[in-house]
């Protein structure tokens, strides 16, 4: 048995939680689009070919924004290929993932899907094999009102008379990576990103309602914290495009190839360190430039990725929608994803947008069988619970308790937590318990709140951390209802199971009495 004390004060805030923190990502990769979002002829498909079983799970997941069309895919993508009559769209080799792309699903279909899913689109432009002019054309096609330009009128002719109103744009993807089509140096990329942003920002003057004057641009950060470009890349890029972008992107994927669960469960500490370092770099550039503008962060690729790599190596190349990156997640993965969500909440003042990569089939929280059902992977549950209960103002947490040493650090807390104050005067507390053997007797000291009562406690736990959810047993790993959490004079006591992730919901006592 271990003990932990957590101190949370209503007046010590991190910042408002941007709803876009609960985003995801859909790339033309494997079966994410074809057989995932889009499958004409599926028993649940609507007239547009959108799988309604997947749409229902996306809405249950609580996704708010979706990034598209890539990813590595976008660095070789011609957006025009995915527009117009399907029978005239070209079929091309897709270099990034050695597949064949039919282009039956493109930008217009994605926008229609976003409206059906009630999510905000985040479009990426190709700054690998293409440049600023094509990026400007893409923004014009998406957002120009009818009757003004040929590109806007092409969208109208393709069945979309109203502008798509896309305001969030990724300026390329992982351009520092040797694997990327059109990889560039930081200075090369920074200049191209700057010029693309200039061409994509249509001057206002009679078209304010189109959304064109309100773009927000995301510059590519380094592709990972372990790359030699990390840190220097962000600084050099921002020196070139600082005044034209709003966010810098971060990417990270964790794995347990070494079968070292304690280190794996500490992945969220590495994520937090990556965030702090990128924030420091952004602020250093701001200080050097004596700028009043602050650059925030967009963590637009994050997840666990390793289960499927041997399987992927055996896939036959140059096929349509092959089963790639189809990780089957287990209970340990769910705990790590829950911990990463805690890290995002604890940095909500600077991480304004985040995208779990990806959404369906491809390292996704949702799995499908082509022609068959859809189901929730283990990692679905911490994301859905955090999106549902993580809206409000993130609060600082002070954790007093035991630590352990592993490859990720010398003093990893056995208990990690984030807290979000709600609009009704309550607080929701998200807790990762990394100890795999002992319960934790945890006391939470809540200061600055009125009298509170426990509204609910859901937790994730499995004695066997290798359990998974599969088509034949899709609900083997689901949230459990906790009992026994108590509140006495705003001091909460809860007994956390070993190897668990929890959300503890507290509401004003007078509201609890009315429910």
Q: Which of 174, 195, 240, 458 is catalytic?
A: 174
Nearest CA among 347, 426, 351, 356 for reference residue 394: 347
174 is catalytic: yes
Contact 367, 374 (CB under 8 A): yes
| E strand intervals along 104-199 | 120-125, 168-171
Going from the C-alpha of 458 to that of each of 244, 453, 485, the distances in angstroms are 43, 15, 11
**What burial letters (b/e) apply to 288-325, b meaning 16+ CB within 10 Å?**
eeeeeeebbbbbbbbbbbebbeeeeeeeeeeeebbbbb
> Residue 92: how many CB atoms within 10 A of its CB?
15
Please pick, among 236, 301, 326, 458, the residue that the annotation labels catalytic: 301
Burial of 506 (0-12, 13-18, 19+ CB in 10 A): buried
Which of 325, 366, 304 lies closest to 96, judged by CA?
325
* Letter string b/e over residues 212-229, b meaning 16 or more CB atoms within 10 A of that residue's CB: beebbbbbbbbbbbeeeb
**DSSP-assigned letter for residue 32:** S
301 is catalytic: yes
Query: 176: which strand partners?
Result: none
Query: In this structure, are residues 440 and 496 in contact, taking their beta carbons and an 8 Å threshold?
Result: yes
Rounded Cα–Cα distance for residues 368 and 373 (Å): 6
State the Cα–Cα distance between residues 267 and 145, nearest whole angstrom: 46
For residues 141 and 149, what is the distance between their CA atoms, to the nearest angstrom? 9
Question: Where do the H-state alpha helices sit in 23-118?
Answer: 52-61, 107-117
**Active-site annotation, residues:** 174, 301
């Amino acid at each position: 048995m271990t003990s932990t004390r957590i101190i949370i004060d209503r007046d010590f805030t991190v910042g408002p939680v941007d709803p876009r923190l609960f985003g995801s990502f859909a790339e033309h990769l494997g079966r994410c689009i074809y057989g995932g979002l889009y499958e004409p002829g599926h028993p649940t498909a609507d007239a547009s070919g959108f799988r309604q079983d997947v749409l229902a799970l996306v809405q249950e997941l609580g996704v708010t924004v979706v990034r598209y069309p890539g990813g590595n895919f976008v660095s070789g993508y011609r957006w025009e290929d995915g527009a117009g009559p399907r029978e005239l769209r070209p079929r091309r080799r897709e270099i990034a993932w050695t597949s064949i792309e039919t282009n039956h699903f493109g930008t217009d279909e994605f926008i229609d899907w976003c409206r059906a899913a009630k999510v905000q689109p985040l479009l990426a432009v190709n700054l690998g094999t293409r440049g600023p002019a094509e990026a400007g054309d893409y923004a014009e096609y998406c957002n120009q009102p009818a009757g003004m330009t040929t590109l806007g009128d092409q969208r109208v002719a393709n069945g979309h008379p109203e502008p798509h109103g896309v305001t969030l744009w990724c300026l390329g993807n992982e351009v520092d990576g040797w694997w990327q089509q059109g990889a560039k140096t930081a200075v090369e990329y920074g200049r191209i990103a700057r010029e693309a942003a200039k061409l994509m920002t249509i001057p206002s003057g009679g078209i304010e309602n189109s959304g064109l004057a309100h773009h927000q641009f995301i510059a590519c950060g380094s592709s990972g914290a372990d790359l030699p470009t990390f840190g220097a890349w962000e600084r050099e890029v921002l020196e070139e495009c600082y005044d034209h972008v709003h966010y810098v992107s971060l990417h990270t994927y964790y794995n347990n190839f070494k079968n070292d669960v304690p280190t794996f469960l500490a992945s969220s500490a590495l994520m937090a360190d990556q965030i702090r370092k990128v924030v420091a770099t952004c602020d250093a550039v701001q200080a050097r430039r004596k700028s009043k503008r602050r650059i925030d962060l967009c963590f637009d690729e994050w997840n666990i990725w390793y289960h499927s790599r041997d399987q992927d190596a055996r896939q036959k190349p140059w096929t349509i929608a092959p089963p790639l990156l189809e990780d089957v997640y287990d209970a340990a993965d769910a705990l790590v994803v829950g911990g990463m969500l805690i890290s995002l909440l604890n940095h909500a003042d600077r991480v304004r947008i985040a995208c779990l990569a990806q959404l369906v089939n491809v390292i996704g929280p949702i799995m499908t069988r082509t022609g068959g059902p859809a189901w929730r992977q283990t990692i679905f549950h911490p994301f859905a619970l955090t999106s549902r209960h993580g809206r409000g103002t993130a609060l600082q947490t002070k954790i007093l308790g035991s630590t352990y040493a592993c490859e990720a650090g010398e003093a990893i807390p056995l208990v990690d937590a984030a807290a979000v104050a709600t609009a009704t005067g309550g607080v929701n507390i998200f807790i990762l318990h990394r100890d795999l053997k002992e319960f934790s007797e945890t006391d939470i000291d809540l200061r600055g709140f009125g009298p509170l009562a426990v509204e609910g406690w859901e937790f994730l736990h499995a004695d066997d951390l290798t359990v998974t959810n599969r088509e034949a047993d899709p609900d083997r790993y689901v949230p459990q209802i906790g009992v026994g959490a108590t509140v006495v004079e705003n001091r909460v006591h809860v007994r956390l199971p070993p190897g668990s992730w929890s959300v503890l919901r507290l509401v004003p006592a007078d509201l609890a009495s009315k429910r």
